Amino acid sequence: MSAIDCPAAPAAIDDAVEAALGALLRDRDVGELQCLEGGFLQVLRRGRRERLDAVLEGPLFGLVRDHGAERQLIALRLRGGHQLWAGPCVDGRCALRVLKAPQLDVELDALADEGMLPPGLSTELAAAAAQGGVLVLGASRAGRQRLACAVARTAQRALAFAAVGERTAPLFPCPAGADVAAQAHAADALGFDALFALELTPAACAQLMQAGAALPLVASVRAPSTEAMSHALAGAPLDALAALVCVVGVGPDGRPRLMEMHGAADPGGPADASGAPAAAPRLALGRAPSAPPSGASAPGDELPPLAVPPSTWASDEPDDDPGWELAGLPADAAAPAPGSFDAALARQSARPPFAPRAPRPHPQAAALAGNPFGGLTFEPPPAPPGGEHSDGSAAEGDPDEEPR
């Protein structure tokens, strides 16, 4: 149920929400609040879910019970465009969820400071919004919404946006129409420059493609990946919807992070009087982009198949180890083509084997000829004059003799 179709909440429920959750509703970093009756509050802050050490107090749960939340799911529109859902649980308690209205209060530079975007990408995203649009997919719902709002806030300095879909009416003018395709055609007739949508379904994107609207689209889409989005569009190329497709996931720290980018934009294109990149010719959503010039391959094109290797490189022998083809060509093989790898391998194989040279003689080798020990010997010294005593002890004058 969209925010426009939701009935306005009674004044008592509005006052109870303001008294219990007013500080969190005014927090720019908080996008969603959830609470189970008697449990702790949980908030979605900058794309990351946090549990607060606080319990929702006041008459709010009693008021939503009296309004019918004890029996069925109810949806109400609060002040400021916020939405409130409340419904029963199997244990008899009520669950409550408040989804804040989207705000264009996020800057691309702030997302880069948070680590969601790499530095230096703001100019390319703003240029892509003017040159064909930006689609934000991914598993992080809050991350893709914040990125889409940041792109729209940067691009609205040069483009007049029209809102399509359910939740974008508080942000930009929303032309009347039965569906998103009718709203897109009405926005084109009214002279708007681009379309903006939050949480488009793949079915709504398919309607835009079939309608053939001609305005760039900046939107977040409920699709976890480009493969899922392409499957929902029956294999149609995503660049028929937008010039740039961003995929936002969850990083190791639990915060949203830009994981993939498909497509490209020219951030250095001509600028208008305001300094923003000038808008390129409008991209018709009902047809694919023009083919690339000859000699250039478009992103995603399949590469040509590899050439079939020569028959001499085929071996069915079970004893051949990996790398056998580098040992050389067989003798009966044809001469390899000049400049090929086989020719270089043949030249390398024809070289003589490596034979180490003998080292040069030492400069003192001639002086030591015939006396390799340089005057040293392992023979015992000769006995001194006098010989040995009759008892076998050394004679006098022997240096090894102990004093008597």
d(CA 135, CA 118): 18
Extract the tokens encoding 106: 């996020």
Q: Report the relative pairing of strands 83-88 and 161-163 from DSSP bridges.
A: unpaired
Least confident span in 112-121, 259-268, 275-284: 275-284
pLDDT at 333 over 80: no
What is residue 384's predicted lDDT score, i.e. its pLDDT? 66
pLDDT at 5 over 60: no
% of the chain beyond a pLDDT of 90: 2
What is residue 118's predicted lDDT score, i.e. its pLDDT? 87
Least confident span in 250-259, 302-311, 380-389: 380-389
pLDDT at 297 over 60: no
Host H or E run for residue 342:
helix 341-350
Using CB atoms within 10 A of its CB, is residue 108 exposed (0-12), middle (13-18) or buried (19+)?
Answer: buried
Most trustworthy range by pLDDT among 192-201, 258-267, 270-279: 192-201
Q: 85 in helix, strand or coil?
A: strand
Residues whose CB is less than 8 angstroms from the CB of residue 278 and which lie 6 or more positions away in sequence, other chains included: 130, 269, 270, 271, 272
pLDDT at 62 over 80: yes
Q: Taking the alpha carbons of 163, 196, 21, 59 in that order, is the dihedral positive or negative?
A: positive
Average pLDDT over residues 130-142: 86
d(CA 308, CA 316): 17
d(CA 31, CA 374): 92
Q: How far is CA 123 from CA 5, 244, 261, 277, 317, in A?
A: 37, 13, 14, 9, 59
pLDDT at 133 over 50: yes
Average pLDDT over residues 240-254: 85
pLDDT digits (tens, 9 = 90+) for 351-376: 888 888 888 887 777 777 766 666 66
pLDDT confidence band for 24 (50 / 70 / 90): confident
pTM: 0.53
Residues whose CB is less than 8 angstroms from the CB of residue 36 and which lie 6 or more positions away in sequence, other chains included: 89, 93, 94, 95, 96
Domains and CATH numbers, the chain: 11-99 (3.30.450.90), 108-263 (3.40.50.300)
pLDDT digits (tens, 9 = 90+) for 212-245: 767 888 888 888 888 888 888 887 788 778 888 9
Mean model confidence pLDDT for the chain: 76
Q: What is the DSSP string of 224-256?
A: SSHHHHHHHTTT--GGGT-SEEEEEEE-TTSSE
